[in-house]
């Protein structure tokens, strides 16, 4: 039986790199700005994600596209028009690739979107559902939502199957940004006024997200569906810090401080949004994902945090 040929974008990124290392059962083409070390030059296609790039060479004989490349969400974006910048890559670039993919005979287009399409926060124990009306608030989320809308239109017009995956915050070895900051705070044993937070947040281990992406390559029930994904183990910020501590063999120094005591000083220095994220909830219900695909997250949060700790210890 011939192997399916997969085209992967974003293979040098945090998610795409892990996907690449999990595609042994498939023939793989990779496209992006730079060639990953694991990829043979004959299977690498240097390209930008935008509205004008010709992807025909990369798409030759491809059955499945996994599109994980994106202009990623960044805090304190300094560009004059962030929405235009996000749209250029995440919307126009994605739809250009999808149109060319459908014309080249690609069977299925898997789009790694974002939970930011659903919204920025939830009330505790009222998680986002896969069928909820999207409510993106920032430029990144809007650009991803517009890409989703365009992909569904292309699927309806051409018959190419589209799979949309909306991950929550992704963590694992090599994680950066806010999650890395939390890890470093715990490792340095810095006293943290975060010992009495009772929110709930859904996170997704990189191993679980990649397993779902691989499942969606050829699962018949994935066609033209939207899937939310998490570890199915929601935690408060306080509990997350404690679990990070367990993984690193450290007892975090957590001081129970009420939210109001942090909000005022944070507002004065322009950091209220940071407090809101630490105390706010963002939950997703993945029951539909599990039922539709007969899938469960293969890795627990504790197992993934242990892998992160091991990666630090090996440096």
Q: Is there a catalytic annotation at residue 140?
A: yes
* CA separation for the pair 251, 229 (Å, rounded): 29
Identify the three-state secondary structure at position 200.
coil
Side-chain half-sphere CA neighbours of 286 within 13 A: 27
Are 19 and 110 in contact by the 8 Å Cβ rule? The answer is no
Residue with tokens 């929405």: 83
Which token pair is 280?
A: 């706010």
Q: Which residue out of 140, 145, 171, 279 is catalytically annotated?
A: 140
Structure token digits, residue 21:
């290392």
In terms of residues, how long is the chain? 315
Distance spanning both ends of the chain, measured CA to CA:
42
Cα–Cα dist 184/244, whole Å: 10
Q: Structure tokens of 67?
A: 């599109």
Which residues are marked as active site? 140
């Amino acid at each position: 039986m011939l192997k399916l040929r997969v085209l992967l974008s974003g293979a040098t990124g945090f998610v795409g790199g892990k996907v690449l290392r999990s595609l042994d059962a498939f023939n793989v083409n990779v496209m992006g700005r730079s060639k990953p070390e694991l990829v043979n030059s004959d299977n690498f296609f240097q390209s930008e994600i935008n509205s004008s790039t010709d992807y025909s060479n990369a798409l030759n004989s491809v059955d499945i596209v996994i599109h994980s490349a994106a202009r990623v969400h960044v805090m304190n974006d300094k560009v004059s028009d962030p929405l235009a910048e996000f749209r250029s890559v995440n919307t126009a670039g994605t739809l250009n690739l999808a149109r060319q993919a459908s014309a080249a005979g690609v069977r299925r287009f898997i789009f790694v979107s974002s939970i930011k399409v659903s919204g920025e926060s939830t009330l505790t124990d009222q998680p986002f559902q896969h069928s909820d009306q999207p409510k993106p608030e920032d430029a990144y989320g809007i650009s991803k939502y517009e890409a989703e809308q365009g992909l569904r239109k292309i699927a309806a017009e051409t018959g190419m199957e589209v799979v949309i995956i909306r991950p929550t915050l992704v963590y694992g070895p090599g994680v950066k940004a806010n999650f890395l900051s939390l890890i470093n705070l715990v490792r340095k044993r810095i006293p943290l006024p975060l010992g009495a937070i009772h929110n709930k947040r859904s996170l997704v281990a990189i191993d679980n997200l990649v397993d779902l992406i691989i499942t969606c390559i050829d699962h018949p029930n994935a066609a033209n569906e939207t899937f939310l994904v998490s570890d199915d183990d929601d935690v408060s910020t306080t509990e997350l810090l404690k679990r990070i501590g367990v993984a690193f063999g450290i007892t975090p120094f957590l001081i129970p401080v009420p939210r109001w005591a942090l909000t005022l000083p944070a507002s004065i220095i322009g950091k209220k949004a940071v407090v809101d994220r630490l105390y706010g909830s963002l939950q997703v219900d993945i029951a539909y994902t599990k039922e539709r695909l007969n899938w469960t997250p293969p890795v627990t949060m504790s197992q993934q945090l242990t892998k992160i700790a091991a990666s630090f210890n090996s440096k």
